[in-house]
Amino acid sequence: MSDDGITMAIGRDWPEVREALERLCARFDAAYWRRLDAERAYPAEFVRALAEGGWLGMLIPEAYGGAGLPLRAAAVALETVHACGGNAAACHAQMYVMGTLLRHGSEAQKRRWLPEIAAGRVRLQAFGVTEPESGSDTPAIRTRAERRGDRWVVHGSKIFTSRAEHSDLMLLLARTTPLERVARRTEGLSVFLVDLREARGRGLEIRPVETMINHHTTQVFMDGLELPADALVGREGEGFRHILDGMNAERILIAAECVGDARWFLARASAYARERRVFGRPIGQNQGIQFPLARALAATEAADLAVRRACALFDAGAPCGPEANMAKLLAADASWQAGEAAMQTFGGYAFAREYDIERKWRETRLYRIAPVSENLILAHLGHRVLGLPRSY
Ligand SMILES: Cc1cc2nc3c(=O)[nH]c(=O)nc-3n(C[C@H](O)[C@H](O)[C@H](O)COP(=O)(O)OP(=O)(O)OC[C@H]3O[C@@H](n4cnc5c(N)ncnc54)[C@H](O)[C@@H]3O)c2cc1C
């Protein structure tokens, strides 16, 4: 058991990664995150520290300049950032977005981009899938890319494309064959690597979307954006399949962040419940305070096991769609339970910004909706695993 009694002995796999990240996070304390939240500022110094430490390239194979570590190591790194009170949302996409390039990109694309990304010289932080009209129904996206000679010409718009203003590259999903001309709705979509440095002002415009958390999300408008032929990643028309592996990695890594958030809430709330005295005794002596925390602890440990299982399957190259989705569902629920229990434990002080509870509570709420909402996960499990009629 760790000092705080929260992290179970089983929680200390990859201790060298945990310890290194704990040291790095100690340089970015609660006041740092609080100030950024108040100013809606991007954690540039934190992201730079992660990049310089090689953490953002940890999944990139050694042959391309990365550390070649498994997904589990990345999950541990992100879990640790969140357990320390930080927020890895500013950079987690770099870890999973490059997976599409790695698995489906040409050798020339990989040689050009992966070493630069691994060295932290090029940022691949933006992933443009969601659109205003299509929402969760990804195959219904309207952004289209047409081949004209040696160029692709893109028209359309994306919403909630996070970090586009802080990224050099964006992985973009667009329709290359109209929906009415494909046999299956998931066909006819393609993935492109857009160099935002060249595209901005030349057919591509980015506008920030203000949200309740400090997430740097944007709308991206493309009107006659021209891309070189070699911006296409993988095979034309198979983009949906190409991004699926990356989406599983995304779900697993975000689930790990939720486990970290839950552990942070539980550590903070149980310390406060031991110290805060009302009616002449610690509030944690009341079962009305103690039991919600204990229940959230059980949910967190169960979610952690689900994350580990999903990582093990992913790292073995086995199919892991249901497991990645279940890990995200359970972990987002656990962090929300822990956040709610922490809110009740801190009482009025939960609302005082200096305690950081309200900030983390807002931040962790996102993951019951993004990158895929609970209902869509349940519908996927109901249909794909339980064999029930498809509802979506
Ligand atoms: C801060 C933030 C950052 C984001 N970052 C990115 C990003 O970087 N890149 C990106 O591509 N996207 C991003 N997203 C988008 C996110 O993935 C979507 O918001 C999410 O997938 C849900 O889509 P939607 O908001 O359009 O909801 P909708 O699809 O409109 O759904 C609304 C509600 O209806 C429910 N619903 C819809 N259809 C069904 C059904 N058939 N059965 C049951 N319930 C249903 C949903 O579960 C949800 O609860 C981000 C979102 C936010 C808020």
DSSP structural state of residue 162? E
Q: Model pTM? A: 0.96
Residues of the chain above pLDDT 70, percent:
97
DSSP structural state of residue 5? S
Question: What are the pLDDT digits (tens) for 329-338?
Answer: 999 999 999 9
Ligand 1 centroid vs 135 CA: distance in angstroms? Answer: 6
Is the CB of residue 76 less than 8 Å from the CB of residue 20? Answer: no
Q: What is the pLDDT of residue 12?
A: 86
Closest residue by Cα to atom 35, ligand 1, is 375
Instruction: Show the domains of the chain with their CATH numbers.
Output: 9-118 (1.10.540.10), 124-237 (2.40.110.10), 243-385 (1.20.140.10)
Q: What is the pLDDT of residue 245?
A: 79
Alpha helices in the chain (DSSP H): 15-26, 30-39, 44-52, 71-83, 92-104, 107-118, 196-199, 239-275, 287-315, 321-346, 357-365, 374-380
Question: What are the pLDDT digits (tens) for 141-196?
Answer: 999 999 999 999 999 999 999 999 999 999 999 999 999 999 999 999 999 999 99
For residues 304 and 331, give the distance between their C-alpha atoms in angstroms, rounded to a whole number. Answer: 7
Ligand 1 centroid vs 202 CA: distance in angstroms? Answer: 29
With the most atoms of ligand 1 within 8 angstroms of its CB, the residue from 191, 373, 383, 391 to mutate is: 373
- Which tokens in the block code for residue 373? 């909402």
Ligand 1 cavity residues, CB under 6 Å: 127-130, 135-136, 160-162, 211, 215, 217, 366, 369-373, 375-376, 379, 391-392
